[in-house]
C-alpha cells in the first residue's frame, strides 16, 4: 500500500474523468482554440469557454472573459505583479509568501526600485489586517496575500484585508494555490480584485493549468506578446480580455481536464470537500500531538488551517524522516523549505526546514493512523 500525503505540492490522485477527458479530447479533437473556423476548432472554442464559465461560477464571478488562463499560478502571479507594479511603487505582502510571489517582488525591488512592506504574522501564521492598513502609503499600488500558507496551512483573513484594500482603492491579489477547490471562495464577498489559481492542487486538475481572475478595472500590462487568433494585422496586443493577457496556443486538453475536475468538485460540493478535509486535519493534529518529541508549527485548530501541517521530530532532520517514511513505510511526504523561506524564518526553521504533510480529499483516516504509527517508530529509533 502506498500513501500519498503530498497534496500541497500536487494532488497526485485525480478524479478518473480528468485524464479520460483529456485523452478523449486529444484522440477525437486535438485542435487549437480561438484560431480555426471549422467544426472541430469551434468545438475546441466551446470547451475552453465552458471551462472559463466553470472557473467563474466556482468563485461566484460573473465575467468569464476576465479569466486569463496560464500554465500555473506562478505565471498568474508573475503576470499580475509585473503587469501592475512600476518604477518606485510600493507593495504590501505577508511574511508567508511562496517564492512565486516573493522572488517576483525581490526581482522588481532590484530592477524597478519597488518598495516592499512585509507584514509580520504571528508564530502560527496569522496576519493582522490592522497592520496592513498601517503599512499603506501614498504610492501603494498592490496588496498581495496568500489565502493559506503552504508551510503552516494558516488561513488568512482575506475578506478583512480586501475590505481595507477597497477602502483605499488598492488592488488586492490573492494566491489561492492551497485553497481553491477545497475552501469556499467568493470573489465578491471576499473582496478579491485579482484571484490567482493553479489547476493541479486542490482543484484536482492537470499540471500545466492555472489562471488569473480579474475583478478589477485597472491596467495590467501583458507579460507576453504574440498570437491571439484574431486582430492579426494589429501590431500590438489587443486591449480586451482575455486576449490582452492570454497569448499563444492554449493548453486545450489540460483545460478540458480542469473543466471536468471542477464539475467533479461541484458534484461533491466544496463545503463537503472542506468538511471531510477538516475532519482529517483534526484527527491528524490530535494524533500528532500525542507523540512527545514532535513539534507542530501552525494552528492546532482545524477551523483555522487547510490540510498543510508542518512539524519536526526532535533530533531528526526532516529529510531523514521523509526518507524513512518513503523507504520503509511507502508514505510520501515532503521535507525542506517548501519554496517559502520567509515562512521558515517566521517559525525559526530556515536552516533545517520542516516535514510537511499535505492532506487531500482522497485521503482516509486509516492512512493517517498508519503515518502516526510510522512516525512513532521513527521518533523512537
Ligand X SMILES: Cc1ncc(COP(=O)(O)O)c(C=O)c1O
What is the rounded CA–CA span in Å between residue 132 and residue 198?
26
Q: How far is the CB of 257 from ligand X (least distance, A)?
A: 15
- Position of minimal CB gap to ligand X: 150
Q: How far is the CB of 45 from ligand X (least distance, A)?
A: 26
* Cis-peptide, bond into residue 242, ω within 30° of zero: yes
Q: How far is the CB of 273 from ligand X (least distance, A)?
A: 18
Closer to ligand X by Cβ: residue 127 or 228: 127
Closer to ligand X by Cβ: residue 98 or 287: 98
Q: How far is the CB of 287 from ligand X (least distance, A)?
A: 24
Q: How far is the CB of 313 from ligand X (least distance, A)?
A: 23
∠ CA 81-195-362, nearest 5°, is 125
Residues 151 and 308 sit within 8 Å (Cβ to Cβ) = yes
Which among 297, 307, 299, 318 has a CA at the least distance from the CA of 375?
318
- State the helix-helix crossing angle for 39-58 and 252-268, rounded to 10 degrees: 40
Which residues would be at the binding site for ligand X (CB under 6 A)?
Answer: 72-74, 98, 100, 146, 150, 175, 177-178, 198, 339
Closer to ligand X by Cβ: residue 156 or 284: 156
Q: How far is the CB of 78 from ligand X (least distance, A)?
A: 9
Closer to ligand X by Cβ: residue 100 or 142: 100
Q: How far is the CB of 165 from ligand X (least distance, A)?
A: 19
Long-range contacts (CB closer than 8 Å, 24 or more residues apart) made by 34-38: 34/228, 34/229, 34/230, 34/250, 35/227, 35/229, 35/249
Strand ordering across the sheet containing 115-119? 67-70, 210-214, 194-198, 172-175, 140-146, 90-94, 115-119
What is the rounded CA–CA span in Å between residue 21 and residue 47?
11
Closer to ligand X by Cβ: residue 161 or 375: 161
Closer to ligand X by Cβ: residue 328 or 350: 350
Long-range contacts (CB closer than 8 Å, 24 or more residues apart) made by 286-293: 287/368, 287/369, 287/372, 288/372, 288/375, 290/372, 291/372, 291/375, 291/376, 291/379, 292/379, 293/379
Closer to ligand X by Cβ: residue 98 or 244: 98
Amino acid at each position: 500500500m502506498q500513501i500519498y500525503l503530498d497534496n500541497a505540492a500536487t494532488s497526485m490522485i485525480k478524479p478518473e474523468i480528468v485524464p479520460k477527458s483529456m485523452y478523449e479530447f486529444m484522440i477525437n479533437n486535438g485542435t487549437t482554440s480561438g484560431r480555426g473556423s471549422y467544426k472541430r476548432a469551434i468545438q475546441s472554442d466551446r470547451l475552453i469557454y465552458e471551462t472559463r464559465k466553470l472557473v467563474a461560477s466556482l468563485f461566484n464571478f460573473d465575467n468569464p472573459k476576465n479569466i486569463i488562463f496560464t500554465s500555473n499560478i506562478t505565471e498568474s502571479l508573475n503576470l499580475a505583479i509585473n503587469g501592475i507594479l512600476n518604477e518606485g511603487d510600493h507593495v504590501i505582502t505577508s511574511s508567508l509568501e511562496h517564492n512565486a510571489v516573493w522572488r517576483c517582488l525581490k526581482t522588481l525591488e532590484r530592477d524597478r526600485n519597488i518598495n516592499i512592506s512585509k507584514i509580520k504574522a504571528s508564530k502560527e501564521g496569522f496576519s493582522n489586517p490592522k497592520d496592513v492598513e498601517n503599512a499603506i502609503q501614498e504610492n501603494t499600488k498592490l496588496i498581495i496575500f496568500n489565502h493559506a500558507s503552504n508551510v503552516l496551512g494558516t488561513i488568512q483573513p482575506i475578506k478583512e484585508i480586501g475590505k481595507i484594500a477597497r477602502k483605499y482603492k488598492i488592488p488586492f491579489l490573492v494566491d489561492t494555490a492551497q485553497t481553491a477547490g477545497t475552501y469556499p471562495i467568493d470573489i465578491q464577498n471576499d473582496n478579491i480584485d485579482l484571484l490567482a489559481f493553479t489547476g493541479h492542487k486542490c482543484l484536482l486538475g492537470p499540471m500545466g493549468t492555472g489562471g488569473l481572475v480579474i475583478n478589477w478595472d485597472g491596467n495590467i500590462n501583458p507579460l507576453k506578446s504574440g498570437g491571439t487568433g484574431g486582430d492579426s494585422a494589429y501590431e500590438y496586443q489587443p486591449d480586451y480580455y482575455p486576449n490582452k493577457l492570454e497569448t499563444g496556443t492554449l493548453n486545450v486538453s489540460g483545460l478540458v481536464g480542469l473543466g471536468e475536475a471542477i464539475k467533479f468538485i461541484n458534484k461533491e460540493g466544496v463545503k463537503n470537500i472542506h468538511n471531510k478535509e477538516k475532519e482529517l486535519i483534526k484527527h491528524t493534529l490530535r494524533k500528532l500531538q500525542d507523540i512527545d518529541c514532535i513539534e507542530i508549527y501552525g494552528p492546532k485548530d482545524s477551523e483555522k488551517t487547510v490540510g498543510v501541517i508542518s512539524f519536526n521530530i526532535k533530533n531528526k532532520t526532516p529529510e531523514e524522516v521523509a526518507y524513512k517514511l518513503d523507504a520503509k513505510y511507502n508514505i510520501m511526504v515532503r521535507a525542506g523549505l517548501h519554496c517559502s523561506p520567509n515562512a521558515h524564518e517566521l517559525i525559526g526553521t530556515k536552516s533545517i526546514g520542516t516535514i510537511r504533510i499535505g492532506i487531500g480529499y482522497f485521503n482516509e483516516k486509516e492512512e493517517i493512523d498508519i503515518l502516526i504509527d510510522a512516525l512513532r517508530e521513527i521518533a523512537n529509533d
